[in-house]
Structures are given as C-alpha cells and as structure tokens.
Structure 1
Amino acid sequence: MAYVARATTKGGRDGRAVLEDGKLALAMALPKDMGGSGEGHNPEQLFALGWSSCFGQAILLLAKKHGLDGSAAKVTCAIEIDKDATSFALKADIAVSIPGADKAKVKALADDAHQICPYSKATRNNIPVTLSVV
C-alpha cells in the first residue's frame, strides 16, 4: 500500500465531511440544480477535483514519451449527475489542453494517460467518459 486517505461524513449531502487528519473539513450541500441550498460542496465537485488532478499527474508522467511539455498541460474534468430509469448516474467529460502543441500528439498523450490514471481505471466501463483535446 502506498497511501490511504480516510474521510468521514455525517449528514450525507447536507452534512459535514472531514479528513481523518483534520486538515480539510467541508460543509456539504445538495446543489441548487438538485433542489438544495448550494451553500456547500458536493461529491461531484470533489470527484472532478480529484480526477483532474490525478489525470494531470498521469499527463506529467507520460508527456516526455510523446515529446510534449506536460508542465504546460491543463486538465478539466466535468462530472455530471443525472437521473436514469432507476436511480442516479454519473458521466464524465475530460478535456486536455497544451497551448501550442500538436493536437494529435496531445490526443495520443491523453489516451495514454486515460489508461494509467487510477480514477480512469476505477471508472472504466462503469460510467460514460468523453475524452477531448481543446
């Protein structure tokens, strides 16, 4: 095991989430779009932050192999939650940009990063993911 993050939430989407070490505690709130106050954070926001950061690290790791400057990369992850026939479901849109870089090279890099990113691996074949270069 390389690392464990442990968080506890009381009150669900309208509660409080705290990391075990106490260094981060967030008020949680149902988004306004879902009938809530929107006066806090929500799991989809945290998922988007984590995935974009993790994907960005995969880009940094693989960029040299593709002849690109990974430090110039920007990764945007959008997480959408919607109701399906029986419950709620997630989908993700990941956009990668490297200013001035050849888009075909960036696409190949993004495809490779999607293969090794732990968030991408965890969600593979579980939620729809759109990967694009902007």
Structure 2
Amino acid sequence: MQAMYMAAATATGGRNGQVKSDNGVLDLEVRMPKALGGANDDFTNPEQIFAAGYAACFDSALNLVIKQLKVKTGETAVTAKVSLGALGEGRFGLGVALEINIPDVSAEQAQTLAERAHQVCPYSNALKNNVEVTLAITNSQYA
C-alpha cells in the first residue's frame, strides 16, 4: 500500500486517560463506560471513537460509490455500533453493526450500494477476516 495520508494520536492513561491528535484538534478525556465498571457514561471511550471514525469513513465510501455509479439519492447516513466482548483466554475482540440509510432508492439498490461501499471502505478492508461486520439497510421509505 502506498500511503496517501497518515494521522497520529497519542493516548495516556489507557481507558481512564486522555487521547490527543498530532494537530491538537482531537483532545478528549476517555473513561471506562459504566457497563465495563466505570463510574458513569459522561465521557467518551475508545469504542465510541472507533464507531465515529468507521461511520464517517463508510459514509464517505458510500457516497463515492453513489457518485461513481451516478445514482440519485437523498442524504445518506451511517450508524456504526461497536461491541466489545471477551474472546476467551483473556483476549478481547470487537464486533461492528453498520446501519445504513440511503433515501430515494429501492431496497435492492440500497443493499447493492452498501455492499460496494463495504468493498471500498478502508475500515471495512482493515477489519476483513478479523472482525464480524454486519450491514443493515434501515431506510424507512424506498423509492
């Protein structure tokens, strides 16, 4: 792979610490969520940050595919739900469920566009064969 861009962030204190990007734009306190034994859910955590990045990246890939195929849609939206779980033997893993909304297209076309975006998205390609990623079309109305 030939790198087109590189981002960097530094974490201190692990799940009860601070994360900061190299340019300082991202500068967040992170805390263990209540479900994992933390005190409260008033702070972000690594899974939320990962979910935000994946959702934004997948939505960009989706819009690239839509543009390349010259499909007319409404504004798309992607929600990434990231699960953290035990794999056994002291190991942990992630699972991802992507909820994809592509207005003004048929259910079949939405599914096709989502599957193509899944082939294009760098996050999807990084997780392939390692993390279970499910795609669900959530359109409330189809064309």
Q: How many residues align structurally?
A: 133
Partner of 2:5: 3
Identical aligned pairs, as a percentage? 36
List runs of 5+ in structure 1 lacking aligned partners: none
Residue in 1 that maps onto 2:92: 88
* Offset at residue 66 of structure 1 (A): 6.2
| Aligned twin of 1:125 | 129
Deviations 1:64-123, CA, capped at 9 Å, x for gaps: 416232x51111110000112222111000111122321100100000000010000000
- Name the residue aligned to 1:50: 53
Residue of structure 1 aligned with 2:20, choices 5, 15, 18: 18
Q: Distance in 1 between matches of 2:102 and 2:133?
A: 20
TM-score when normalising by structure 1: 0.93
Unmatched tracts of structure 2, length 5 or more: 139-143
In the alignment, the residues of structure 2 paired with residue 91 and residue 128 of structure 1 have an alpha-carbon distance, to the nearest angstrom, of: 5
Contact 1:16 1:28 in 2 (8 A): yes
Distance of 1:32 and 1:76 partners within structure 2 = 22
Q: How far apart, in 2, do the equivalents of 1:24 and 1:53 lie? A: 15
Decide which of 28, 31, 55 is 1:29's aligned counterpart.
Answer: 31
Q: CA RMSD in A?
A: 1.3
Following the alignment from structure 1 to structure 2, what is the Cα–Cα distance between the partners of residues 82 and 128?
A: 12
Preserved contact between residue 76 and residue 95 of structure 1 (Cα < 8 Å): yes
| Structure (1/2) with the larger helix percentage | 1
Distance 1:100 1:24 in 2: 35
Contact between 1:66 and 1:109, CA under 8 Å: does it hold in 2? Answer: no
